[in-house]
Amino acid sequence: MPALSPPSRLQSRAYEELRRLIVSGEFTPGTFLSERQLAQQLAMSKTPVHVALERLESEGFVTISAQQGVVVRSLSVEDIVDHYELRDAIEGWVVRRLSGRLNEGQQTQLHENLNQQEEALLENDFARLTHLDSEMHYLMCSFLNNREIIRTMERLRDKIHLVIHRVLATDPGRPRQSVKEHREIVDAIFSGDGDLAARLMTSHLEAGKRRVLNPSRFSD
């Protein structure tokens, strides 16, 4: 079987830009996308746009059908449950393994991230807070230097961003509580209590999952 050729520069640019528009929320779930209009917007032909959309479909960001065309896909209940179960399995294990083992530079990175989260919270800058939140989870996984875990977290990175954005939007009190939970997880890692860090991570992820699956309970 011949090897797949790497994407061209235009295909990569189309993919990165369309993914950015989806993850940032500029293309909201349910939005219909036209290849012709996207090609005009990106100042390129339809071919790289078509290839980029096929890649986004394979990653679960859009749905392409003969009847409806291209539609930005929302996360289903099954997607959300699978997402959180996978992250719990990975991140709970990661924080247990990291506990008491971080070097000074790694500790500084987490401290700086948490301080910036608190600044974003005070400024009501939830776009920045969402970015810092997903970055913190990725940082911890990267510290373990497990290439398979890093690759998995990189693959999940944009969906983590989307999920965190939905969580923070469902409950006005959730951003403050989420930052507090992050601080508690990091404190447990620094103190070397891996079991506590893993329990706190599971509780943190479960709290987010409940808010996505039952947003009406937290919207008042």
Question: Which residue in this structure is represented by tokens 């003969």?
Answer: 66
Residue 2 confidence (pLDDT): 44
What is the C-alpha R_g of the chain? 19
Q: For the domain that residue 38 is a member of, what is the CATH number?
A: 1.10.10.10
C-alpha span between 144 and 138 (Å, rounded)? 11
Q: Does 146 fall in a domain?
A: yes
User: Does residue 48 sit in the same domain as residue 148?
Assistant: no
User: Does residue 129 sit in the same domain as residue 190?
Assistant: yes
Domain boundary among 37, 56, 72: 72
Least confident of 10-24, 53-67, 110-124, 153-167: 153-167
C-alpha span between 174 and 218 (Å, rounded)? 9
User: Does residue 67 sit in the same domain as residue 86?
Assistant: no
List the beta strands (DSSP E) in the chain.
Answer: 32-33, 62-65, 69-72
Give the total number of structural domains in the chain. Answer: 2
The three-state secondary structure class of 62 is strand
DSSP 8-class letter at 74: P
C-alpha span between 99 and 184 (Å, rounded)? 13
User: Does residue 97 sit in the same domain as residue 158?
Assistant: yes
Q: Does 3 fall in a domain?
A: no
C-alpha span between 124 and 218 (Å, rounded)? 19
Query: Would the pTM count as exceeding 0.85?
Result: no
User: Does residue 85 sit in the same domain as residue 111?
Assistant: yes
User: Does residue 61 sit in the same domain as residue 48?
Assistant: yes
Q: Residue 165: which domain range?
A: 77-217
Q: Does 2 fall in a domain?
A: no
Q: What is the pLDDT of residues 127-186, one digit of tens each?
A: 899 899 999 999 999 999 999 999 999 888 888 888 887 777 778 889 999 999 999 999
Q: Residues 178, 204: contact at Cβ < 8 Å? A: yes
